[in-house]
Amino acid sequence: MANTFSLILVLVTLFTGIIWALDKFVWVPRRQLKAAEVLQLESGEVSEEQVAQVAPQPSWIETSASVFPVIGLVLVLRSFIYEPFQIPSGSMMPTLLVGDFILVEKFAYGLKDPVFRHQLVETGEPERGDVVVFKYPPQPSIDFIKRVVGVPGDTVRYTEDKRLCIKKEGESTCEFVPVDNVHQSGFTQRGVNLIQAEEILGQEPHEILVNPYIPNQTGQYYPTPGLGEWVVPEGQYFVMGDNRDNSKDSRFWGFVPEENLVGKAVGIWISFEFDEQGDSFLPSWVPVGVRFDRIGGID
């Protein structure tokens, strides 16, 4: 769906751009010449009002030429600078909630063409702790958002007691990711209060959630059920959701190739609250409130 929209946007931009160029460099001079002939002006110079009276611009040409700058600006902004996304699930709680609308920095990990996604310019690489949007490898038409846990060369372990351990390339020991401020949170899952903790993967700490009553789902791990250890290949990344027991991520379907990266999530620009209990007379997709306190950067 995302690539389909990009393709439509590119085609509309090309169509309106061609019409704008033809009108400016071909059709406008022709209309001016026609108006000059009709008005029998030797100089050939006519005003816009005279041209409009004698040889009016067709409405479809006027509309196409008028919308081209706007459509072109939207294409550039959305494809190469920032693109808005909506958070559809709770896999990144408590960092991101359902109803959050985020901005994704498209140039963070390279500029790609909006249709075929070939890299045009290399600008940077994901770091541990980055929150990234990417094309879901088993179904690239779907966008996912997770946190980068392992970069190329890392050995990532997720232990039975739900601790992250990372052995960086060139190092001999696996270092546990620091965890602090462990406490019972206000977030619930199936009536159970989740445990919240502060974890430090990159430069800044972030919050994670763990369900103390759900055992590690090692039997579903990819590619080897029962083995919670992965070596990240070159050009790929290991990602996980902050809501560790409610996230289908690299543990279950594998790595994210570099070419699947869409961008880095950098901020929440608006956050809507929805009626999760079904008590409202409004449809479930209609927001019942705005969470202004959530607007800001993403850790």
Residues with active-site annotation = 91, 146
Beta-sheet pairing, 296-297 with 261-273:
antiparallel
Distance CA 116, CA 263 (A): 15
Q: CB within 8 A of 185, min separation 6: which ones?
A: 94, 193, 194, 195, 196, 209
What are the residues facing 231 on neighbouring strands? 155
**Exposed, middle or buried, 182 (CB in 10 Å: 0-12/13-18/19+)?**
exposed
Report the candidate in 153, 210, 203 with the shortest Cα–Cα distance to residue 178: 203
What are the residues facing 192 on neighbouring strands? 189
How far is residue 107 from each of residues 12, 39, 263, 270, measured CA to CA in Å?
23, 54, 7, 22
Q: Determine contact, residues 261/109, Cβ cutoff 8 Å.
A: yes
